[in-house]
Amino acid sequence: RGASWCGEKVVEAFLVLASKCVDLGKYMPIAVREALASNPTMASIYNVTYIASKLSDDREALINAMRRLKDYFRSAKELVAKNAVGIISGNVMTISYSSTVLTVLTKVKDGLGKVYVMVSKPGGEGVVMVKRLRGLGINAVPIHDTLVAKYVTHVDNVVMGADAIGKDGCVINKVGSYTLALLANQAGVDTYVATEIIKYHPERTCRNIEILSREFTVEGYGEVKEPVFEEVPSSLIKALITDYGITSPMYEDLLEMYRNFIRDYLTS
């Protein structure tokens, strides 16, 4: 599951806790700790827990903020997509499945040619993306992860999602994203990251964000445990297209956007 889904589920959990728990002061720290441990890679979880912790002494304010955040997860993708108009067009390459990228490509579909989708092993979520895109009438083509170099020269831009944005503008995304961005850069193709600003981590660079690993079966061998996310350095990213606007992957610009977001949800 992606960062948006994880963040929304944590919001729902805090809503239940704030609405039904009598001793909120006792159980809030436990809930925060459990939420952060559930997927340490996802900065969306960090930010939901940060807002919840700041409002834990005011039950009404906490409930209000969580309700607004629930609406945020539903609407922010549309704002990202709106900001992508005029940027993402022609032949495009992406990786894995990102609900935010799907929303962007749906918004700009009239200006798209082919959309090449890396199958994204381990996991193979790119197949889901291809099916969703084709269902919307978009000419989506699945490609094996090892064939990026062959196809990236045929695209006008690359767009990928993000599971986290480090404070220095780097991005954590599905493994294979670094290779895609690196080869795109070598081919003179710009890489854009479509993401909600709630995925920004204000305290950690990508190298300090814990990367989740999972077990997968390698045919003919057996079980192996591998990381499922990796860092894409800011030097390979043209711009981040967010719900709060378009920005370069620079610390100062991202921090200003992030502070505006936090301010919006810590005030009624």
Residues 125 and 61 occupy one common structural domain? no
| Total domains present in the chain | 2
pLDDT tens, position by position, 240-267: 999 999 999 999 999 999 999 999 998 8
Residues 194 and 256 in one domain: yes
Domain presence at residue 110: yes
* Position 180 in a domain: yes
Report if residue 130 sits inside a domain. Answer: yes
Task: Give the pLDDT of residue 5.
Answer: 87
In a domain, 265, yes or no: no
Q: Which of 24-33, 112-121, 160-169, 187-196 has the lowest mean pLDDT?
A: 24-33
Q: How large is the average pLDDT for residues 42-56?
A: 94
Q: Are residues 177 and 62 in the same domain?
A: no
pLDDT tens digits along 124-152: 999 999 999 999 999 999 999 999 999 99
At 268 the pLDDT is: 61
Q: Is the pLDDT of residue 113 over 70?
A: yes
Count of all residues that appear for the chain in the document: 268
**CA dist., res. 68 & res. 11, Å (int):** 10
Q: Tell me the residue range of the domain where 36 lies.
A: 3-75
Residue 153 pLDDT: 97
Average pLDDT, the chain: 94
One domain, residues 28 and 126: no
138 φψ region: left (φ > 0), alpha (ψ -120 to 50), beta (else): beta
Same domain, 12 and 131: no
Let me know whether 84 and 61 are in one domain: no
Pair 63, 99 in one domain: no
pLDDT digits (tens, 9 = 90+) for 65-107: 999 999 999 899 999 999 999 999 999 999 999 999 999 999 9
Specify whether 177 is located in the same domain as 240: yes
Domain boundary (75, 92, 109) is at: 75
Q: What was the pLDDT predicted at 3?
A: 83
233 Rama class: left (phi>0) / alpha (psi -120 to 50) / beta:
beta
Name residue 1's amino acid: R
Whether residue 132 lies inside any domain: the answer is: yes
Answer whether residue 191 is part of any domain.
yes
More confident of the two residues 4 and 62: 62
One domain, residues 142 and 42: no
